[in-house]
Amino acid sequence: MSHLKKIERKVERKVEHLEHRLSHDAHQQKGKSTGKMQDQPASKSTNDLPKGVKNRPDEWKIEQGINAAKLPFLDQTGSETVYIQPKDEAAIKAVGDPNKLFPRELEGWKGYVEWEEYPERKKAAHKILTSQAFPPNPEFQMGPIPDSNPVLPGTHWKQWHHAIGGELTDVPEDSWNTVLKEKHPEMLHLLQFPYNGEPPKRLTTAQPVTPNSLHFVRNHGGIPLIDKDKFFLRLDGLVKNPKTYTLDDLMDESKFPRMKKMITMQCSGTRRIEQISLYAGQGDEVPQAPWAEGAIGTAEYVGISLKKVIKDCGGLLEGGKHLELYGAETYFKNDEVMNYLVSVPWSKVKANEVMLAWEMNGEPLPKIHGYPLRVMVMGYIGARSVKWLYRIKAIETPSLAPVQSKEYLYFNQQVGKHNQRPTDGIQIQEMPVSSAIMSPWKNQVVIHNGKIRCKGWAYSGGGRWPERVELSADGGFSWYAVPLENMSKKGQWTWRTWEIELPCDVEGWIEIVCRCWDNALNTQPLAVRAAWNWGLHVTSSAHRISVYSINKSRPLTAERIEMFKLMASLSPLSHGPKSSRPRPGMNTRTSSRSTPEMRIMKRFSTLHPKLAIVLAAFAYDFYDEEWWGWIILRYGIASKYMLN
Write the CATH number for 196: 3.90.420.10
pLDDT for res 565: 75
Q: Are 628 and 596 in contact (CB under 8 A)?
A: no
pLDDT for res 46: 47
For residue 343, being part of any structural domain is answered with yes
pLDDT for res 4: 53
Between 636 and 352, whose confidence is greater? Answer: 352
Mean pLDDT (whole number) for 147-174: 91
**Is the domain of 383 the same as that of 489?**
no
Identify the burial level of 373 via C-beta atoms within 10 angstroms of its C-beta, where 0-12 means exposed, 13-18 middle and 19 or more buried. Answer: buried
Q: Given a cut of 80, is residue 316 above it in pLDDT?
A: yes
pLDDT for res 73: 62
- What band does 595 get if pLDDT is binned at 50, 70 and 90? low
Among 43-57, 269-283, 576-590, which stretch is predicted with the lowest mean pLDDT? 576-590
**Is the domain of 353 the same as that of 447?**
no
**How confident is the model over 485-522, as pLDDT tens digits?**
999 999 999 999 999 999 999 999 999 999 999 999 99
Between 89 and 349, whose confidence is greater? Answer: 349
For residue 170, being part of any structural domain is answered with yes
Mean pLDDT (whole number) for 401-427: 91
Q: Given a cut of 60, is residue 474 above it in pLDDT?
A: yes
For residue 100, being part of any structural domain is answered with no
Q: What is the CA radius of gyration of the chain?
A: 33
Neighbouring CB atoms inside 10 A of 233's CB total: 20
Last residue of a domain, one of 402, 426, 450: 426
Last residue of a domain, one of 482, 516, 551: 551
Mean pLDDT, the chain, rounded, equals 83
**Is the domain of 599 the same as that of 629?**
yes
Q: Given a cut of 60, is residue 28 above it in pLDDT?
A: no
- What band does 113 get if pLDDT is binned at 50, 70 and 90? very high
Among 481-495, 527-541, 620-634, which stretch is predicted with the lowest mean pLDDT? 620-634
pLDDT for res 270: 95
For residue 20, being part of any structural domain is answered with no
**Domain containing residue 441:** 434-551
For residue 254, being part of any structural domain is answered with yes
Among 91-100, 319-328, 606-615, which stretch is predicted with the lowest mean pLDDT? 606-615
**Entry field: residues in the chain:** 644
Q: Given a cut of 60, is residue 631 above it in pLDDT?
A: no
Cα-based angle 124, 127, 132 (whole degrees, multiple of 5): 140
Looking at the 3D structure of the chain, how many domains does it have? Answer: 3
| Torsion (CA) 123, 125, 126, 130 in degrees, nearest 10 | 140
**550 closest CA partner among 514, 503, 509, 512:** 509
Q: Given a cut of 60, is residue 42 above it in pLDDT?
A: no
